[in-house]
Structures are given as structure tokens and as C-alpha cells.
Amino acid sequence: MQKYFIYLAYDGTNYHGWQIQPNGISVQECLMKALSTFLRHEIEVIGAGRTDAGVHASLMVAHFEFEELLDTDSVTDKLNRLLPPDISVYRVCRVRPDAHARFDATARTYKYYVTTAKYPFNRQYRCRVYNQLDYERMNEAARTLLEYTDFTSFSKLHTDVKTNICHITHAEWTQEDDATWVFTIRADRFLRNMVRAIVGTLLEVGRGKLSIEGFRKVIEQQDRGKAGTSAPGNALFLVNVEYPESIFESNK
């Protein structure tokens, strides 16, 4: 069996997240249908992670297996013809037979966008805030995330993960234009709802409703009920998934 990685992007607006759902269409389901149609064989696709309903990805990675050696450029082209306009494939590449899109990922990066402007063309991709936020204080709070590893306080309750331990290596707000700020966070793994819960709690810091010490306490109490409301999913993007070079095979 040959194994392949698919690098893709999608606008999550019309989907019930990445993961196949019994009650709505998912990105994973669309990708599997397109692959199965093209290869005339039932194909299973495994993603690097799950994104929630309405969340976008400018870069997601998934893997699939097929018994024959495929022309990866041709697969990329055919998938883009078969997939709906809001899902696109950048490239398909061969990887080692034991490579895994989820378990071999060494880091993932998300970006979350907030804006004070009312701009019709961005409403699906930005979280509108109605008051000025103290981004300096928000960055001071964000830096404390790097000192902790247990993020139970920012995890969706009753998930099937065995551990809430994550190693965050970057967490920072930067200004993109007069009205827009972006929060970039990178870690080895993320819990369900984690980024949105962190952003929602940092917004409380920015509004002056939560102190830096209070933010630390939220983390230390390991209780989702103590953190802020999750920020809306439409402003969240998965932007990168990193892998060791050793899992890739030459496509020659």
C-alpha cells in the first residue's frame, strides 16, 4: 500500500467541522467522496486534527492509502475539479507507509482575527469587538500560557482525549491594520475548543474584567467553568501543521 498526504484549505462556513457527522456535511466527508469517485474505490481519509463547525483552515493535512503508485500532480488536479469551491487542494505527496497525519504532526498553528470595523466582506472571517481592548495586557496574559502544560480550563468537557497536557511554544497578539488584530498560537497539540476558549478569556483581560493574576488562576484551577466564553468559530483558522522531514518520500 502507498500512503499519501493531502495539503488542503477550506472555508468552514458551510460545514459541521472537519470530522464526519451524522447530522450534517463535513470537510472530511467531501474529501473522501471526491477521492473515492476519482480512484473508484472506497477511500478513508484521516486528518491532522478536528476543526469545529464554522472554523476554517488555510492549511490542513490529511492522509489516505491506495494500492497503486499515483501521479500526485494528477490527483491534485482531479480533486480540485471534483471538490466544491470552498475546499481546495494545494498538493498531494507520498509519505512513508507508517506516516500518520495526526500522530506524526510535531506542531500546529492557529490564528484568530478580531476587528472593530463593520466590513461586510469580512463578517465570515472576523470576530467583531465593540470596545477598545488592551492588547498589551492581553499579550502579557498570553505569555503566561507558555509556563503551563495542563489546559483543562480551556478544554471542551467530556471529550475522549486521555490527557489535557499541551506544550504551547508561541502565543501573541499582533496588529494587522487599523481595525484588525490577530492572535497566533502554536503548540504540539490542541484540545477541543481550546483556542476559542483561550481567546474568549483573553478578551476578558483586554476589557479589564480579568487581571493577569486572574488569568493565571483560571489556568491553575483546571476548571472550564472558570474560563471565559468561547470566542465565535468563524474567526479561527488552522494555518500550519508541521512534520519531521523523515516521513516524506521522494515523488520521483
> What's the pLDDT tens digit per position in 120-152?
988 899 999 998 899 999 999 999 999 999 999
User: Which stretch of DSSP H or E encloses residue 38?
Assistant: helix 27-39
Is 52 tagged catalytic? Answer: yes
The mean predicted confidence, pLDDT, of the chain is: 94
| Architecture category of domain 2-104 in CATH | 2-Layer Sandwich (3.30)
Q: What average pLDDT values come out for the chain (252 residues) when binned by 10 residues?
A: 97 95 94 96 95 95 96 96 98 96 97 94 92 95 96 80 89 95 97 94 96 95 89 97 93 51
Phi-psi map region of 140: left, alpha, beta (phi>0 left; psi -120 to 50 alpha): alpha
pTM of the model: 0.95
Please determine whether the domains at 2-104 and 107-239 fall in the same fold group of CATH. yes
Residues of each annotated binding site = 110
Looking at CATH, the fold of the domain delimited by 107-239 is given as Alpha-Beta Plaits (3.30.70)
Residue 225: Cβ within 10 Å count: 8
Annotated catalytic residue within 11, 52, 160, 177? 52
Amino acid identity of residue 55, one-letter, is V
Instruction: Name the residue ranges covered by the structural domains of the chain.
Output: 2-104, 107-239
Residues of each annotated binding site for substrate = 110
